[in-house]
Structure 1
Amino acid sequence: MLSAGALIWTSFRPLLRLVICTASGFVITKADIFPAVAARGTGQVILNIAFPCLMFSKIVPAFTSQNVHALGPLILVAFIYEALGMLLAWIVSQIFWVPHQFRFGILVAGGWANIGDIPTSVLMSITGAAPFQGTTDQNLAVAYISAFILVFLVTLFPLGGHRLIAMDYVGPDIEPEEVQQAMYIKRRSWVNFWIRMIRKASLSATRMHSSDSSLEDESRDSDNGDDEKYDDEKDAVNPEHQHPAAQLHVSFHDDATTTEPTELGIVSRISSVEPTLIGVETRLNHIIDTGLHPNNQSILPTTSVTAVDTALPKSLPPPSKNRHIRVLRESRHVLKSFLNPPSISIFISLPIALIPKLKALFVEVPGTYIHPGPDGQPPLAFIMDTCNFIGAASVPLGLVCLGSALARINVPLNRWKHLPVGAIIWLAIGKLLLMPVLGVLICQGLVKIGIIAEEDKLLRFVCIHLRFFSCLPTATTQVFLTQVYSGTGSAEHLSAFLIPQYFLMFISMTALTAYTIQLLF
């Protein structure tokens, strides 16, 4: 077992490499050496060349028929983490106000974390040294990460996660003050609802208590019968002796205190003196209920459907055929989304890794003989060497681009009072402090029910540590998508959410890594 000092250093050391690479990209961007055009070009190189080569070079030698079963738990854990992250973000958005053009983007910020560069860099550093088994565990850890990356790509693009970002910019924007007022009304209604529920619960408890004492009251009624009869006779003689509640009445006659109707409405003694705030909610509901085109052009209202139908030619296909065409078009779009270089690399690598004859063409496979090349290596070993060489550039270049993206984030510090501080703070706390705790509990529960093998410590480490994916800040991919869909090239709302998360990342990563190593070893 490692000492406390060795455990902390082992956990913190991978972050030093991460910080140095990220800081390099930050510095050269601020020095105007690495412009936005160069950063986008580098990102394309990483996405289409370097990262697919890294996946191929790690998956082929790492996966075998003995450990491929780990893909099932990894994919399950990845979906659970994304669902929990989106649930957390939704809860935050229901309690704290969020800018109107970030109302759906906060769900993406909670569900999709910055996978790829950061976890690959950290896991390769940790698993490459004791207490792990060096290169073998290093390759297998990166291969395990590929399952998370595949889920990330599939859910964000083919399954339409990126459309949530586009939905933020459908229709006109709503001023932050109006959104804050609507959230204030919602919170006040919640408070009133729970107050009513508590009062009802206390009243029902009181009634139950009174019903329990009813038997005692019946026994007393016989004793008090004469007294009640005497009181009735007394009330008949003297009406002023009746119960005070019987004297209550409501007067509707005008008097000197009655306020005349004004242009703003009628104010009376029995009505609220505060105007009813419905304008904000009505506007929000109108924007949600009426579909708007991304070009801010409203769709024709339903009342004009008949007129439009009469003006259209009679040769249009029936609605069922139109629906069939839309389904085919959508299916084609989903299939195209799968055909991105990282996904293709994973789909090609897995069959090669699991078929011994194919795998022996690239790497040596015990028990499988393939005639070697002139250098004594497998015939296609040069492909593996090339993929290793190119793939090695993926992580450092990705971290440099991450630093460049952070350098271009503009946080309006002079408008801090106007930012959604509550949502920013609690999303950061939830993603980087609360979610890692839930991740450990989930993975330990999966071990107890047998979904994750207890003896496979590397798999457990990756699953817990890729609660790491919840322990990671929001994906920088969302920055690029927001810049595209916003139409202005800015991501002002997202930037304010990112900065606190990257500050907390170093604390949460170090603590989670140290705890996981202590738990497993």
Structure 2
Amino acid sequence: MTKDISTLVVNALLPCLAFNKIVNYISYKDLKMIGIIVLTSLFIYTLGILGGVLVYFGFKTEPKFFYGLLFCSSCTNISDLTISIMQSEGLQAIFTTEQLGKGVSYAVIFMSVQNFLLMNLGLMTIPYYDVKNDIEKEEKHNETDANSSTSDDQHLTKDITDKNSKADSTFNNDVYDQQTSLSDATIESIDSISTADSDVVDSEEVEAEEIAEHEETFHQRRKRKSSISSVLTRPFTNSGTSHRVDRTTELVKEYSIISKVKSGQFDIKKPLDLYAEHPTENINNNHDENDKESIPEMEEKKNTLSDWCYSHRLGWLYYILINFERPCSIATVLGLLCALVPWLRILFVKQNGYHIHQGPDNAPVLSVFMDFTLYVSQASVPIALLLLGGSIAKIDLDKLDYKFVKAAIVLNLYRLCVMPIIGIAFVNRLVTIGWLDKGDSIGRMSLVMTFAVPSATACLYFTAMFTPVTGPQIQMACLGSVYVVAYLMFFVTFAVVLTYTIKHDLGY
């Protein structure tokens, strides 16, 4: 259910939120702020990677979690937390609705930059390189075993064939001698007995199959009934403690694609499924080669484009372009296009200095789209927070790597304490040099807030995608330690950073 709801959020709720907030609160006057957000995002990712490298070499942590450490230290939770905090009731007592809406639009642009890096540039595959060497070694080992077994099977098959030919000739001679000695009456009696026995056996087999089906149905109903009752009574009783489910392993089983990578069904270098937050299929796996007649003309053109790009060594360009078809990417691009072009923006919202004929209700002609996206987007924040809690709940404390806890504490001290200090100094420097207006309080707070959030929740799913189902699952154990420490510290560190920014820097 978590996987389905997250897909709903990515394909419907977040695109509506992105389009509505960008068109409502962004205009061509904010081009400088968009550039500052892109620059700040790259600076945050650089600081995060630097912290991951220092922790790795300073503590000599698990070598199979090097790329995963860089991944979780660079990606920040700029969609769930920052947007929900911007829409919280506490900030509504300080900032106006216009300011908070603009802050949400800034958070959406931050999210778009991160999605471009992860999806369009393929940085989401970084955790794969922690297990790449093991997969290659296993493939080479399987190839050598297959070659040796093939040669052994050839020799064994030859020996068995020789023995079987000798045995068959001897057996056929004996059978022929015995058959010639039997009388016709004996043969008829044997045939009648065998026919009766076969009828009895057939009836017994049918009855056994019917009994097995009834028993299977009964056990399924009983199992379903017990599972439902256990779910209903687990919060009130201790009956679920004796049969505890390994949540981290279940997460890996659900999202892991390593088996598909080994079998060749999944290609890391090709675009992934466009309609899932945590894609586990390539984009072209939805259509079979023998089903070309059912593919629409646009799909055929797309396949022709992909073939042309890969044949001319431009697969990287196709990878970047095709990811713009993701719902969030389309909504962001269309939102920026409509927001930055005044004669398009006035079709959706009222804009000072420009005039166009209004609709019968004295509203912009296409304001119905703004009403629709606003209505749908209001569900994105509470559902996103529920998914955040559900994702953290999937971390199994018994599976944590406690040797990595010290490194996790240092990494989160750097991310949640040191990086916000750097962020405050960075934002104040932007104000000093005139890049950022001193009166743009919501813009300053949005930038500082992005420095002070923990790792992105999506890192859990992307790491689970590239974690083998069998084995110690070192990557998930280390990442779980990072998240547990991060959210124990986050409530304190973020409150201090937010209070200092509002009281000291903004002067409220």
TM-score calculated relative to the size of structure 2: 0.62
Q: Distance in 2 between matches of 1:355 and 1:373?
A: 20
Match of 2:429 in 1: 445
* C-alpha RMSD of matched pairs (Å): 2.6
Deviation at 1:126, TM superposition (A): 6.5
Structure 1: 5+ residue stretches without partners: 1-37, 174-292, 298-321
Question: Cα–Cα, structure 1 residues 455 and 327, in superposed 2: closer, same or farther, change >3 Å?
Answer: farther
Match of 1:238 in 2: none
Which residue of 255, 259, 262 corresponds with 1:295?
262
Structure 2: 5+ residue stretches without partners: 136-259, 265-307
**Is the CA contact (8 Å cut-off) linking 2:72 and 2:456 kept in structure 1?**
yes
Identity %: 27
Which residue of 463, 481, 492 corresponds with 1:496?
481
Match of 1:53 in 2: 16
**Is the CA contact (8 Å cut-off) linking 1:171 and 1:296 kept in structure 2?**
no
**Is the CA contact (8 Å cut-off) linking 2:309 and 2:318 kept in structure 1?**
no
Q: Distance in 2 between matches of 1:449 and 1:359?
A: 31
Match of 2:355 in 1: 369
Match of 1:107 in 2: 70
Q: How does 1:480-491 map to 2 (within 5 A)?
A: 480-488=461-469, 491=476
Q: Distance in 2 between matches of 1:333 and 1:157?
A: 9
Deviations 1:305-329 (A, max 9, x none): xxxxxxxxxxxxxxxxx99847311
Question: Cα–Cα, structure 1 residues 404 and 338, in superposed 2: closer, same or farther, change >3 Å?
Answer: same
Deviations 1:405-447 (A, max 9, x none): 111111236x765x31221111111111111111111111222
Question: Cα–Cα, structure 1 residues 337 and 127, in superposed 2: closer, same or farther, change >3 Å?
Answer: farther
Deviation at 1:142, TM superposition (A): 1.0
**Is the CA contact (8 Å cut-off) linking 1:170 and 1:295 kept in structure 2?**
no
Which residue of 353, 372, 379 corresponds with 1:386?
372
Match of 2:2 in 1: 39
**Which stretch shows the higher mean deviation, 342-351 or 445-454?**
445-454
Q: Distance in 1 between matches of 2:53 and 2:313?
A: 29
Q: Distance in 2 between matches of 1:513 and 1:372?
A: 42
Match of 1:506 in 2: 491
**Is the CA contact (8 Å cut-off) linking 2:359 and 2:365 kept in structure 1?**
yes
Give the letter aligned to residue 457 of structure 2.
T
Q: Distance in 2 between matches of 1:72 and 1:59?
A: 15
Deviations 1:28-66 (A, max 9, x none): xxxxxxxxxx11010001001100100111110101222
Match of 2:284 in 1: none
Match of 2:202 in 1: none
Q: Distance in 2 between matches of 1:348 and 1:369?
A: 22
Match of 1:340 in 2: 326
**Is the CA contact (8 Å cut-off) linking 2:441 and 2:506 kept in structure 1?**
yes
Question: Cα–Cα, structure 1 residues 366 and 41, in superposed 2: closer, same or farther, change >3 Å?
Answer: same
Which residue of 458, 474, 486 corresponds with 2:455?
474
Give the letter aligned to residue 262 of structure 2.
N
Question: Cα–Cα, structure 1 residues 90 and 416, in superposed 2: closer, same or farther, change >3 Å?
Answer: closer
**Is the CA contact (8 Å cut-off) linking 2:404 and 2:478 kept in structure 1?**
no
Question: Structure 1 residue 517 and structure 2 residue 484: aligned?
Answer: no
Question: Cα–Cα, structure 1 residues 502 and 66, in superposed 2: closer, same or farther, change >3 Å?
Answer: same
Q: Distance in 2 between matches of 1:101 and 1:126?
A: 43
Q: How does 1:70-469 map to 2 (within 5 A)?
A: 70-125=33-88, 129-132=92-95, 134-172=96-134, 295=262, 325=311, 327-412=313-398, 417=402, 419-467=403-451
Question: Cα–Cα, structure 1 residues 130 and 361, in superposed 2: closer, same or farther, change >3 Å?
Answer: same
Runs of 4+ in 1 over 4 A off after TM superposition: none
Deviation at 1:330, TM superposition (A): 1.8
**Which stretch shows the higher mean deviation, 327-336 or 74-83?**
327-336
Deviation at 1:345, TM superposition (A): 1.0
Deviation at 1:168, TM superposition (A): 1.2
Question: Cα–Cα, structure 1 residues 327 and 507, in superposed 2: closer, same or farther, change >3 Å?
Answer: farther
